[in-house]
């Protein structure tokens, strides 16, 4: 359809055009010319440093180290490049055999990553990535020496996903740190990362993470395919990818999940999902995503299972309240007054005496006010934000009611809705959309309108898929054994299979029947995992 529109508006050619790729220039053997090449590629911006020096092996050679200031670790450059080349090299008379560059690489440089290249693009890319390039006069090859090192944010707890118990660490902007954190969680050789660079200009490092043997190979293939498809010039955040790879781009429901927590990522990988790390953002995409995941919080597994179950029910309740409460309120007070008990009805009528607007308008307006306050609170610096939202809410709530512009019940309903909508953070955006739509429908057709709205939503949800997995599973299609983590949160020793719809290649997660028992019963029990035995 999009293609159709594009053709209609004669924009089709835009899609053909793709960013131009620089062709590979070869190095010369003369140092100055090479440096000139680099200058024309990189321009002479102040942060491009060229350190000239003379390397004297058997005879003096003009050389230069080229790097970008701020991307490199000074210590490494001095200790492992300049010092050996300028000082160590003098000490004894070398018998240089073979190619000079190779000789230097083999005998002098005491750095981990060194690779040889004779074309500009690779070298420029290396320099931009924080390596430093060693050029020696007379050689038409150069060494890209890895001297990466820059300021990093330290590991802190993510503000978006706080837990009461459980680990306090969250991902950082550095992809290596993040992958390392994941490795620390999963010390299994099966954990694989696949690196690729996406974004013509940003050249962002993106790596797919999955646990071989648990994950469904087809899924990984699908993720690869979708990522390869992407042809954009910048990737600055995980969302830049997820919008490209999600199944239902127009659906308000997230078909790719986000998290900033290593423990959550690890858990999801071990269920058979795939994680997508993006360099430069602490947010990690995981797929496939189920609707139910929005209601599963890391703390569910850190607390006692009865409590966790209760909390989960509370979450379901809150989600539905957040979506339905205003609509129900409108429907009840403008269409189905007979449902309200008589005394309550009379007192509500008393409260609404002399309120000028229809209740729909009231509800929608108050909802809008609340959203404004919330947005203001989020964007502003935290202390100011809180004061603003609180004061604003209080003042507006109080004043409007006192002035008789809005009935007290409306304010109560909106407040309750607002609080409820915060309980399930990942579904908030949908919450807002659905709430508004349903409220309008309720205002026009009453409960029937609500029903129509809910039906459409339900149909949409049932038709959604995330990387081939039905979005509503394990509820629809129903799989009984997966209810262990949906309706209730059973004890961990009882969750002995992985989610049917995702981790099916290796369904068995742990030995069956490990419920703690008295020692003598436990005695001759075999706890090894069935599917390990078979291979």
Rounded to a whole number of angstroms, the minimum distance from the CB of residue 268 to another protein is: 23
Q: Which is nearer to another protein, 266 or 475 (CB)?
A: 475
Summarize as ranges the residues that interact with another protein (CB under 8 A): 1-2, 4, 247-251, 333-339, 341-355, 358-360, 401, 404, 407-409, 440-441, 443-449, 451-452, 455-456, 458-460, 462-463, 470, 472, 475-478
Cβ closest to another protein, residue 236 vs residue 458: 458
- Nearest approach, Cβ of 438 to another protein (angstroms)? 12
Residue 231, token pair as written in the block? 């042809």
- Shortest distance (Å) from residue 76 CB to another protein: 48
In the bound complex, what is the minimum distance in angstroms from residue 468's beta carbon to another protein?
A: 11
Query: What stretch of H or E contains 368?
Result: helix 359-379
Beta bridge partners of 132: 145
CB 241 within 8 A of CB 284: no
Q: Which is nearer to another protein, 345 or 376 (CB)?
A: 345
What contacts 396, CB < 8 A, 6 or more positions away?
Answer: 369, 373
Record the tokens describing residue 280, joined without a space.
Answer: 């430069």
Q: Which of 380, 445 has the CB closer to another protein?
A: 445
Give whichever of 432 and 475 is closer to another protein, judged by the CB atom.
475
Residue found by looking up tokens 């992985």 in the block: 498
Tally of CB atoms within 10 A around 511: 15
Tell me the C-alpha distance between 328 and 442, whole Å.
7
Q: Of 189 and 356, which has the nearer Cβ to another protein?
A: 356
- Work out how close the CB of 241 gets to another protein at its nearest, in angstroms, rounded to a whole number: 17
**CA 305: distance to chain centroid?**
28
- B/e letters for 85-118, b = 16+ CB within 10 Å, e = fewer, are beeebeeeeeeeeeebbeebbeebbebeebeebb
Pairing type for strands 204-211 and 274-278 reads antiparallel
| Closest distance to another protein from the beta carbon of 381 (Å) | 35
Looking at the Cβ atoms of 427 and 439, the one nearer to another protein is: 439
Nearer to another protein, 7 or 228 (CB): 7
- Let me know if 165 is exposed, middle or buried by CB neighbors in 10 A (0-12, 13-18, 19+): exposed
Could you tell me the two tokens for 190? 């099966």
Q: How far is CA 236 from CA 16, 179, 247, 257, 445, in A?
A: 23, 18, 21, 17, 44
Residue 374 CB, shortest distance to another protein, in Å, is 25
- Least distance between another protein and beta carbon 454 (Å): 9
* CB contact set of 305 (below 8 Å; sequence gap of 6+): 488, 489, 490, 491, 492
């Amino acid at each position: 359809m999009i293609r159709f529109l594009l053709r209609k508006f004669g924009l089709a050619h835009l899609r053909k055009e793709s960013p131009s790729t620089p062709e590979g220039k070869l190095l010369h053997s003369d140092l100055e010319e090479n440096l000139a090449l680099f200058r024309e590629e990189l321009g002479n911006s102040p942060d491009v440093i060229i350190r000239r020096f003379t390397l004297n092996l058997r005879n003096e050679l003009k050389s230069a180290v080229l790097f970008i200031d701020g991307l490199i670790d000074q210590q490494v450059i001095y200790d492992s490049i300049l010092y050996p080349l300028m000082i160590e090299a003098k000490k004894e008379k070398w018998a240089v055999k073979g190619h000079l560059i190779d000789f230097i690489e083999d005998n002098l440089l005491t750095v981990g990553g060194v690779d040889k290249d004779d074309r500009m693009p690779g070298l420029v890319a290396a320099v931009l990535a924080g390596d430093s390039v060693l050029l020696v006069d007379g050689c038409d090859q150069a060494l890209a020496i890895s001297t990466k090192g820059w300021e990093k944010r330290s590991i802190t707890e993510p503000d978006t996903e706080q837990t009461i118990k459980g680990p306090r660490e969250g991902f950082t902007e550095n992809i290596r740190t993040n992958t390392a954190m994941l490795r620390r969680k999963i010390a299994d050789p099966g954990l694989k990362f696949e690196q690729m660079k996406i974004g013509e200009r940003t050249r962002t490092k993106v790596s797919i993470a999955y646990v071989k043997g648990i994950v469904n190979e087809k899924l990984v293939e699908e993720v690869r395919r979708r990522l390869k498809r992407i042809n954009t010039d910048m990737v600055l955040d995980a969302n830049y990818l997820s919008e490209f790879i999600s199944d239902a781009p127009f659906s308000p429901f997230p078909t790719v999940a986000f998290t900033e927590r290593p423990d959550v990522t690890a858990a999801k990988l071990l269920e058979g999902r795939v994680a997508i790390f993006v360099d430069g953002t602490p947010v990690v995409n995981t797929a496939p995503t189920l609707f139910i995941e929005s209601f599963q919080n890391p703390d569910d597994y850190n607390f006692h299972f009865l409590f966790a179950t209760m909390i989960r029910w509370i979450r379901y309740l809150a989600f539905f309240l957040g979506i339905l409460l205003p609509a129900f309120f409108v429907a009840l007070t403008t269409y189905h007054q007979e449902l309200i008990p008589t005394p309550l009805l009379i007192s509500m009528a008393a409260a609404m005496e002399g309120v000028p607007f229809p209740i729909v308008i009231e509800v929608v307006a108050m909802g809008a006010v609340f959203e404004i306050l919330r947005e203001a609170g989020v964007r502003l610096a935290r202390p100011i934000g809180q004061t603003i939202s609180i004061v604003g809410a209080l003042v507006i709530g109080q004043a409007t009611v006192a002035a008789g512009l809005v009935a007290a019940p409306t304010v109560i309903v909106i407040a309750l809705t607002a609080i409820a909508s915060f309980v399930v953070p990942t579904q908030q955006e949908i919450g807002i959309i659905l709430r508004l739509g349903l409220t309008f429908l309720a205002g026009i057709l009453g409960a029937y309108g609500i029903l129509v709205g809910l039906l459409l939503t339900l149909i949409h949800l049932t038709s959604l898929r995330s990387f081939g997995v039905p979005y509503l599973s394990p509820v629809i299609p129903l799989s009984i054994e997966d209810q262990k983590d949906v309706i209730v949160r059973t004890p961990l020793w009882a969750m002995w299979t992985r989610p049917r719809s995702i981790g099916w290649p290796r369904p068995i997660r742990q030995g069956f029947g490990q419920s703690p028992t008295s020692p003598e019963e436990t005695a001759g029990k075999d706890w090894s995992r069935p599917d390990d035995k078979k291979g």
